[in-house]
Chain A
């Protein structure tokens, strides 16, 4: 399947991916209205320091430990995409603890949210990839991974 990959060599830590993610999942069609004056809760996070940085989002593992460990059954595999049912999540944060990539974080309401590859929102393709100025985040086929 196609997944989002990060080439840290080219990540500039500009954080645009975070804003593009937040906007794509805001349900709004105006970035200023969606984001101005508000804290943002993107599903991708830039980590690192001045020397090295990279954006982290869900890897959509073939054998996802988060799904196994979810006490409420809110996380599930939908084909190749791992989704969260926000109506079922109890906000226990177990998934945050088990995810080896640190890819999950709760939303403003304490309920988990995660990258679902923008397949469900109006963007239709990962907004972080589309908006990355240096092709540091790519959406491509690279074979299976754990």
Chain B
């Protein structure tokens, strides 16, 4: 059986997310519980979570979560990291042994800071250096895999049902102002843990439900810009697209959504505001290969917010609800009700219409 990355595995999925607009930190317990009613949407072959605001004590350092196949690989990787980074902390990620999660690799966490000398030598900003390092390790270093690389955030994922993965990683011990969750239903076994979601690069994390039909068009385009799609998953390529549009090209979230789930030309033609029509036309003409087609519902996590987005035909379910300071997003309303039984204002966003939630102005996260 080939390991994921050498083959492309389609998956169905469940997603959920919650964010506190006041920046209130919540334990991971609630998001883990939200996945229980959507158990049927996963098949035990992948689950994961991303939490934002979980490492306030290391907020200025990049948290690298890594899988290693063996100790030697870890030592080699550590030596490689030290070429460009100062490692402030290096530790096992604490897990809980449970019968439903087995065959775990070495799961490690580094908190690192790029060396100013390296940045000067390579003429890169620090985020670009981190991104390139992640690409290099994931693309070239066999047996090592970076699955989280942002600041003050972290991803936790494994082969298993998401609710078990939450228990395994002891997520009730972490507190974040924003969480996303994913349960996976791959059509064949991924063979290892890297293929589970969320998928992240820097502080961007993506959970995704669906199978996109534009995959190879998107992949072959984005790989021109230094990204390497090692997993062949939709989530991976969507993450890189978002990183490219938001970080590299400096688009706003709303603009990026207009690229990925572009309005139809007929819709653009009807746009009454000429300036806006020009912008939409420009974005579609500039990034035609980043249009994502086929069913998807994604939640993009980033520092200070979340963006939920459906494909433009709305081929996957996704609902949004609110409760006090919280905004909740999930594949099914049941997941929202599990987190907040009294959530209100529940609606299903239209295809291609991004739902962008940020923590309130002035809230430091």
Contact, chains A and B (beta carbon distance below 8 A): no
